[in-house]
Amino acid sequence: MRLSTAVTLACLLPAIAWAQQKPVSFLESCRPDPAAPRVSLSGKVADSSGAPLVGASVALRCGNFRQDARTTGDGTYRISAPAGSYLIEVNAPGFDMTAETVQLTRPEQRDFTLQTGTFSSIITVN
């Protein structure tokens, strides 16, 4: 049992580390220009059935810059930021987080569909 756990971890850890590095390296190299014209990013966040997700978190990130918004009663959000490249992170309790990069040069609309999260737990019985 221990050998199979070690082999599984040895296979999974490099993939997990690689997946974590992409957003981090993007964020480290990103520098928003505060003098750039401000543009808006708006859209809707829904679940897989199309129902709006109220209170979902939408974050626009670049270096030390972070602009956050919460979705309203109809699942919509709006963020204003200087034009540039950003990482958008969208999450809501009980759902898998999604992230993607966006180049904002003019007002843009981005809708997101979040998938129900997977839960796992370990129960130890003595």
Decide if pLDDT at 20 tops 80.
no
pTM of the model: 0.70
Residues 55-68: pLDDT tens digits? Answer: 999 999 998 889 99
CB-based burial, 5-33: b 16+ in 10 Å, e otherwise: eeeeeeeeeeeeeeeeeeeeebbeebebe
Q: How far apart, in whole angstroms, are the C-alpha atoms of residue 32 and residue 126?
A: 54
> What pLDDT is recorded for position 118?
74
Do residues 75 and 52 lie in contact, with contact meaning Cβ atoms separated by under 8 Å?
yes
Total domains in the chain come to 1
> What pLDDT is recorded for position 122?
62
121 within a domain of the structure (yes/no): no
> What pLDDT is recorded for position 25?
59
Domain span holding position 59 = 2-114
107 within a domain of the structure (yes/no): yes
125 within a domain of the structure (yes/no): no
∠ Cα 120 124 126 (to 5°): 165
Average pLDDT over residues 20-25: 50
Q: What is the CATH number of the domain that holds 71?
A: 2.60.40.10
73 within a domain of the structure (yes/no): yes
- Among residues of the chain, what percentage have pLDDT more than 70? 71
